[in-house]
Amino acid sequence: MTDIFHLSTFLHRPIFDREGDRIGRVQDLVARLGDDAHPPVVGAVIRIEGRDLFVPIRKIGGLEHGRVTFEGRRVDLRRFERRPGELLLAEDLLARHLINLVRGRLISANEIELAKIDGVWEVVGVDPGRRPLLRRILGPSMGQRVKAEVIVDFASIEPFVGHVPTARLRIPYRKLAKLHPAQIADLVEQASHEEGEEIIEAVGLDRELEADVFEELDTTHQLEFLEDRSDADAARLLARMEPDNAADLISEIDQERRLTILENLPAGQQAKVRNLLAYNADTAGGMMNPDFVSVPVTATVAEALEAVRVSRVPAEALQSVYVIDEQGQPVGAAAIAGLVRARANELALGVARTQLAHVHPHWDLHRVARKMSDFNLTVLPVVDEAHGHMIGVVTVDDLLEELLPQGWRREFGMTAGEE
């Protein structure tokens, strides 16, 4: 089994020359970030007579044996200057937050783990547990080696840019994009403001993903990250959000900005948001999404499925296609599964559920929840008070978000940093 070594056992350790004289001490180890899953250690920062100097790893011996030696003929006396892509393991990583991209959580880098593999020192992992804290307090006597299975593989870790201001690093969008927007939002909420800004900047390369993440953030963080944006930029973000989520956020923005941002929205989105703002937030009308898929009573199954295919309605609201009569009133809901199984030339109404459960915009959350539970539904149509026409749908995820207590993720430990 490959031996794993703690970074902390190397820090401040004396370094000796070939004759055995002490010439300085190890301040830090330097790794190079690139395409390697485990970054190679390229050297050490050595303090000699008050100066921090760089020594290449090939000139350092004895790391694995506890007595560090300088194997070169002479030391380069130029002061150490970090080069692009270089990471100071203690300064940049130790005791800081890192992103665990596998579990979508922040971890505290209480220890950095190293291994010598085929003659090359590599950064292989991070230990987020409590034992490294005790070891740093009590000293190296706690042991130099640990079993590799207790660490988080460094291949699944990303540091924050702000930790390494001169390393020209960027949190890779392609890796964050593999997480669910709710997981990314959890990362932002766990992080400091600066760390959160870096995550938002990374996902901002995909405007749709950025909007999805904003929808998952709590109100406090939404407002925090909108504060430094111009009204036009804020409107561009809200334009990509679902209308109900955009309306909720606009209602929380300071009064002096609210109207300007609203007027900067595209006409279609603006009309939907203005309509939603007319309802109380804790009613069916306040949390409904005005976007849904509907077809006339004359539509065939093939036409209903085509309407689904070209629709931009979010997947969670696409459980059914609503069949609407000439007056705009819903007369049935055809489940997507039923449409897929039916013959293409059959009428969509023929496979629709015509005893249509619905709610009205003034109904409170608990009344909506009872209706959804009684009829075993995940999406409920919202019909105007006069039963004249359908105006939106309430989805179970939006209902749960309103029913759960404010800050429930934190209260129940869902966004706690990993150990």
Give residue-wise pLDDT tens across range 363-384: 999 999 999 999 988 899 999 9
Domain 168-281 homologous superfamily, CATH? MgtE N-terminal domain-like (1.25.60.10)
Q: What is the DSSP string of 153-216?
A: EGGGEE--GGG-TTTT----HHHHTTS-HHHHHHHHHHS-HHHHHHHHHHHTTSHHHHHHHHHH
% residues pLDDT > 70 (the chain): 88
CA of 75: how far to CAs of 18, 56, 71, 79, 294, in Å? 12, 10, 10, 11, 76
Chain position carrying tokens 């430990």: 413
Please state which of the ranges 119-133, 313-327, 389-403 shows the lowest mean pLDDT: 119-133
Average pLDDT of the segment spanning 289-304: 95
Average pLDDT of the segment spanning 237-253: 93
Domain ranges of the chain: 4-158, 168-281, 294-403
From the CB of residue 313, how many other CB atoms can be counted at a distance below 10 Å? 16
pLDDT averaged over the chain? 86
Average pLDDT of the segment spanning 117-128: 91
Q: Are 95 and 108 a contacting pair, CB within 8 Å?
A: yes
Spatial CA neighbour of 211 closest among 95, 308, 312, 125: 312
Q: Helix (H, G, I), strand (E, B), or coil: what is residue 401?
A: helix
Token digits for 153?
């593989």
Q: What SS3 string covers 269-324?
A: HHHHHHHHHCCCCCEHHHHCECCCCEEECCCEHHHHHHHHHHCCCCHHHCCEEEEE
Radius of gyration from C-alpha coordinates of the chain: 29
Spatial distance between the Cα atoms of 259 and 302, rounded to a whole number of angstroms:
43
Considering the domain delimited by 4-158, tell me its CATH architecture.
Answer: Roll (2.30)
Give the per-residue pLDDT at 268.
Answer: 93
Please state which of the ranges 61-70, 131-140, 252-261 shows the lowest mean pLDDT: 131-140
pLDDT at residue 344 greater than cutoff 80: yes
Spatial distance between the Cα atoms of 184 and 195, rounded to a whole number of angstroms:
12
The predicted model scores a pTM of 0.75
Give the per-residue pLDDT at 315.
Answer: 80
Q: Which long-range contacts does 134-137 make (Cβ < 8 Å, 24+ apart)?
A: 135/6, 135/8, 135/111, 136/8, 136/110, 136/111
Give the per-residue pLDDT at 147.
Answer: 44
Token digits for 224?
């925090």
Please state which of the ranges 136-140, 194-198, 404-408 shows the lowest mean pLDDT: 136-140
pLDDT at residue 254 greater than cutoff 60: yes
Average pLDDT of the segment spanning 332-353: 94
Query: How would you class 163 by CB atoms within 10 Å of its CB: exposed for 0-12, middle for 13-18, buried for 19 or more?
Result: buried
β 111-117/120-127 pair status: antiparallel
Give the per-residue pLDDT at 168.
Answer: 46
pLDDT at residue 264 greater than cutoff 90: yes
Could you confirm whether domain 294-403 is CATH 3.10.580.10? yes
Spatial distance between the Cα atoms of 254 and 249, rounded to a whole number of angstroms:
10
Give the per-residue pLDDT at 143.
Answer: 43
Q: Name, in order, each residue with C-beta under 8 angstroms of 95's C-beta and a sequence gap of 6 or more.
A: 108, 109, 110
Query: Which letter does DSSP use for residue 7 in this model?
Result: G
Average pLDDT of the segment spanning 230-254: 94
Average pLDDT of the segment spanning 110-128: 91
pLDDT at residue 138 greater than cutoff 70: no
pLDDT at residue 347 greater than cutoff 80: yes
